[in-house]
Amino acid sequence: MIKVTVLGRASAKPTVNSHPSAQVVNVNEQYYLVDAGEGVQQQMFRRGINPLKLRAVFISHLHGDHVFGLFPLLSTLGLCGRQMPLKVFAPRPFGEILEYHLRYFDPQLPYEVEWVEVDTTRHQMIFESKTLEVWSIPLRHRVPCSGYHFKEKYPELNVDKFKITKYNLTIAQIVAAKRGEDITLEDGTVIDNSELTYRPFEPRSYAYLSDTSRSAVAAERVKGVTLLYHEATYTREFQHDAKERGHSTAADAAQMAVVAGAERLLLGHFSSRYKSPEVLLEEAKEIFENSALAEEGETYTV
């Protein structure tokens, strides 16, 4: 199961009610931080998320509203006694920035910070666990920028307990069925694997696309995504500004959801010019009905 907790949904300029971009993605109780705007550690504490549980961090690009909160978080993890290494996936030249931070502010951290460079020109798997793949998604912004696609792996086949009894299957036959094999009974009858087994669930996926202009290529690379988070910095009347600054309108985000065949769309990264982002939601819903605003502190189950 994938759960996404939104810690920040604002764009660059600070506001009274919103924090800059940051999310925690929970995949089967494995926690991943996606972007780290200013104040991210306080937001984690407020939402009851223990930062020591973080397995990795994914930074989309090196604009301050997506990364300024990471460095105090690294310090806090040291104060909390973290021992396990922490991988940080980020574009170049993050390694130089990290080096200076560790030299001048955290020279004696009790854990290792491992920078993994993300090639923002390539769509590739950059992280893998037993149940998860994370793919980089090249985006169109003013600086090198990558989105991230969290994809559950197909679960192992389960064998129907009633079929085990019906055909008096042995342990060896059960194991073979779980591998996807057909089963031959003692009398020579062949039982098709599809009759014996089932998938406990269909894999789900979550894509984080921020910051970017509309990109049909990116949409194709997250085809069939269960939940799509897409920036919606402006309404369509500011289309020119969006294009110049490497951002999207709410209408752009909705069109991306259509091309991607997404089940649901979550809008974020709102410009501070909007006192209420409801106008952005209205614009998106004209094109993609199953749209919603990312609400800070809310957890969305994928």
- The answer to whether the pTM exceeds 0.85 is yes
Q: Give yes or no: residues 183 and 121 share one domain.
A: no
Q: What is the 3-state secondary structure (H, E, C) of 8-21?
A: ECECCCCCCCCCEC
Query: b vs e for 209-232, b when ≥16 Cβ sit within 10 Å of the residue's Cβ?
Result: bbbbbbbeebbebbeebbbbbbbb
- Region 19-44: mean pLDDT is 97
Contact 70, 57 (CB under 8 A): yes
Q: Give yes or no: residues 162 and 185 share one domain.
A: yes
Q: 174-187, pLDDT tens digit by residue?
A: 999 999 999 999 88
Residue 270 DSSP code: B
Residues 6+ apart with CB under 8 A from 226: 2, 204, 205, 206, 262, 263, 264, 302
Residue ending a domain, choose from 198, 220, 251: 198
Contact 145, 193 (CB under 8 A): no
* Position 200 pLDDT exceeds 90: no
Residue 242: which H helix or E strand, with range? helix 239-245
Structurally, the chain folds into a number of domains equal to 2
Q: Give yes or no: residues 169 and 276 share one domain.
A: no
Q: What is the mean pLDDT of the chain?
A: 95
Q: What is the pLDDT of residue 220?
A: 97
* Position 14 pLDDT exceeds 80: no
Any idea which residues carry the catalytic annotation? 65
Contact 37, 68 (CB under 8 A): yes
Residue 111 buriedness (CB in 10 A; 0-12 / 13-18 / 19+): middle
Confidence of residue 214 (pLDDT cuts 50, 70, 90): very high
Residue 272 DSSP code: T
Please report, for the domain that includes residue 210, its CATH number. 3.60.15.10
Nearest to 136, CA basis, from 117, 152, 118, 151: 118
* Position 206 pLDDT exceeds 90: yes
Q: The tokens of 41 are what? A: 């550690």
Q: Give yes or no: residues 189 and 217 share one domain.
A: no
Tell me the residue range of the domain where 36 lies. 2-155+201-301
Q: What is the pLDDT of residue 156?
A: 87
Q: What is the pLDDT of residue 17?
A: 85
* Position 201 pLDDT exceeds 90: no
Residue 268: which H helix or E strand, with range? strand 264-268
Residue 286 DSSP code: T
Residue ending a domain, choose from 137, 169, 198: 198
Q: What is the pLDDT of residue 155?
A: 86
Q: Give yes or no: residues 143 and 256 share one domain.
A: yes
Q: 55-112, pLDDT tens digit by residue?
A: 999 999 999 999 999 999 999 999 999 999 999 999 999 999 999 999 999 999 999 9
Confidence of residue 53 (pLDDT cuts 50, 70, 90): very high
CB atoms inside a 10 Å sphere around CB 140: 16
